[in-house]
Amino acid sequence: MPFSGKWHLFAMSGCLAAWTCLSTNPIIPAALFAVYGIYLIILRKYQFFGTLLLILLIIKIDLVFFQKNDTVLSDRQQVVQGRITDLPIFDGDRLHFKLKTDQGESIMIDVKLQTEQQKRLLLRELKIGMRCRVKGKLERPEPPSNFHAFNQRLYLERHHIYWRMKAAQIPNYSDADLSLLDWLRRVRQNQITFISTHFTSTAAEMMNALLLGSDDQMDPELANAYRIFGLVHLLVVSGMHVAVVFGVLFYLLRRAGMVREYASLLLLVLLPVYVVITGAEPSIVRSGITAGCVLIFTLMKKRRLTVSDLIALACLLMVFYDPRVVYDLGFQLSFTVTFVVLIAGPTVLHSYQSPLLRMIILSLICELVTFPIIVPNFYQLSLVGILLSVFFVPFITFVILPLCFVAYFFALFFTGCSVFFSYTVDTLLFAPHQFLLYLSRWMPMQLTYGALSGWQIGLSVVLIFTSLIIWECFHSLKFIFALLAPFFLIFGVIWTTDQLDTRGSVTFLDVGQGDSILIRLPHNAGNMLIDTGGTIEFGQEKWRERNRPFEVGRDVVLRELLALRATHLDALVLTHRDADHVEGLKGIAGKIVVHQLLISPYHDPSAKDRALFELMIRDGTTINELHSGMIMKIGEIAFHALSPSRRSEESNDNSIVLYVTLGGKKWMFTGDLSQSGEKGLLERYSRLDTDVLKLGHHGSRTSTSEEWLTRLNPAIGIISSGRGNRYGHPHQEVIEKLTEHKVRILRTDQLRAIRFWFDQQQIINWEHASSP
């Protein structure tokens, strides 16, 4: 079939077919597929319609007969053997690598290193392609424990990985005969190690990302800043790298006297080698296939090609090879941006004379079309990135990338010169990176759209498509605003929807062993967060420190706040000083607006707490004390503080206890109040009852007395505790008491995050994150 420019439609059909076959809810993709098919029949494009059905059939056959869609292992298996197939990742005292077992199934291996010497040994000796025998416990990856948490289980399944193994000891490993693929991967690993050893950390992380496609060493905060401003594609090996590397090679071969055909044939052989050595991510695979097609058709004297044909063919081949690739974020962004640049680029070049304006317009269009991909995954978008790209794109492309190539090749032959190149790269990157980090910490720089519903994503697609049509029809300077309008229209629609929503919610976040409760009022009238969760930190040796240690405040609470568009908190209440209630504050402070921080008069902040409080005060937060008898109002809702009334020697009895009516029901949030504190509270408030009780101290036997339950008579008891916690919370006697009093027990260690929806009169329903 000649390349008639319709291959991009075949590629889109392939992606749609894969989505239809793989989706757990295939109604939308199947409907789109059917509508498209009917449209082709109406136009009497029967040949094209037949091709569409053939693509669907091929993908279905591929999924049923050729793709690995399930596991052959079981959790009873305690020993696995196989080959290491990916780069071993060392993060503090943790080691992770992918093992392809002798049964042909890949699993993730997690090893906890015991000594620094052990780590050094494995860093030096553990290589891709080695045979490995691991003894441990096979476990299914954990499902998400909060409503908007990253779904690691689904992510790994889409990469054909169904198990993780926690190694009981250091794996036994030995070298073996390497396949060509493993040999190339080992070459990549050795070069990453070489760069990391000979260059400074700043230079090494940039060189490994730009030259070898490895961003594991990248500073997490810096990588996040690149992502926030839409610049992360600059750190990915892509078509630009292929064009530069193979363009230079072709020129050198021709200058050396090699005939064009032989030079093209040699480059065709080297292309897959380069793809593997640079990590074989979707962007470089796309570029490699495209370049390979160009070389093949050049050798075959087939000149009737368009770039969009080649890109589309690459897309179709990747989907045929693994239909699950359509769920890969890198695949989605890579092909979307590439097609848009190909389609919109000529119009931009024709319509605008200024190179600066061309870059801004093209960046704006790319930001626009990737909106339905980026926002549902990250909840935020920064239009400032469009202006930043004017500097960073040429700076990284024409300064840093060539410098990294030169530094690497010089260091291969003259290792001493790595000091000079490290200094040069570090110096050039210092100011731009500091500026980028500064902007990423400035809250007004980002628009928070939150977790978009299905109809909101659909509306955004319609608005974006409409704005692109308007711009294409007129594409004069004044119609640039047509490209900006969707960002603000979508934001306005979402804001209006929140204002009209008559429902409020109370969410008990799963923060492990700790508390964090988010209350959102109807009509977006206000937000309150009670406690931030937190992980108890123990002093540890330097070598054990992880590159990006898990932080409850940043990785759980903040993510949920952004997903729910709770960009400001009318009140943040820290019930008491215990780490599992307050340590998460460091992941929130400075990231969202907090109007008022409320603490117990007996909080006794540490030096670290005071530093955070000062940061929040500079951001406009007022700090007040809350004690028994005080009332705090958010909108029309009054929160009554029942405790503390006086200082207690027991830290838990200094907890702030809040009492409020929401959805026609009485709620009590007790912090870590003990039985002694409960007794004192009952003495002060003789007529006290509640419908929903957040149990004190995570269901410990030191809380929730018989008298407490008798007097309050709750219908629902919420227990916030971590799965398999070392304290044994909740204790069995507490569970038995609740059962005797016919209290419905809801536990975060079993149900994960729990959310109640309410309106002005009643609790409408409730849900939990462990629901399928």
Respond yes or no on whether the N-terminal peptide bond of residue 402 is cis (omega within 30° of 0): no
Nearest-angstrom CA–CA distance, 105 and 98: 10
pLDDT band at residue 406 under the 50/70/90 scheme? very high
Q: Is the dihedral of CA 375, 381, 386, 389 positive or negative?
A: negative
Among residues 317, 259, 295, the alpha carbon closest in space to that of 10 is found at: 317
Give the E-state strand segments of 124-212 in sequence order: 131-139, 161-167, 172-174
Strand-pair category, 754-758 with 89-91: unpaired
Average pLDDT score over residue span 629-636: 92
The token pair at 497 is 């929807």
**Which residues, in sequence order, are CB contacts of 395 under 8 Å at separation 6+?**
432
Contact 464, 371 (CB under 8 A): yes
Nearest-angstrom CA–CA distance, 196 and 529: 43
- For the cut 90, the answer to whether the pLDDT of residue 494 exceeds it is yes
Which pTM value belongs to this model? Answer: 0.91
Query: pLDDT (tens digit, 9 = 90+) per residue, 575-599?
Result: 999 999 999 999 998 889 999 999 9
Nearest-angstrom CA–CA distance, 179 and 185: 10
Average pLDDT score over residue span 5-21: 81
- For the cut 60, the answer to whether the pLDDT of residue 272 exceeds it is yes
Average pLDDT score over residue span 3-31: 79
pLDDT band at residue 152 under the 50/70/90 scheme? very high
Give the E-state strand segments of 531-674 in sequence order: 568-569, 571-574, 593-594, 596-599, 622-625, 631-634, 637-643, 657-662, 665-669
pLDDT band at residue 228 under the 50/70/90 scheme? confident
pLDDT band at residue 4 under the 50/70/90 scheme? very low
Axis crossing angle, helix 454-474 with helix 355-369, rounded to the nearest 10: 150
Q: What is the reported pLDDT for 2?
A: 38
Nearest-angstrom CA–CA distance, 482 and 474: 10
Nearest-angstrom CA–CA distance, 219 and 548: 8
Contact 685, 703 (CB under 8 A): no
- What is the distance, to the nearest Å, from the Cα of residue 232 to the centroid of all Cα atoms in its chain? 13
Q: Is 768 helix (H, G, I), strand (E, B) or coil?
A: strand
**Which residues, in sequence order, are CB contacts of 288 under 8 Å at separation 6+?**
242, 271, 272, 274, 275
Contact 206, 429 (CB under 8 A): yes
Nearest-angstrom CA–CA distance, 123 and 197: 12
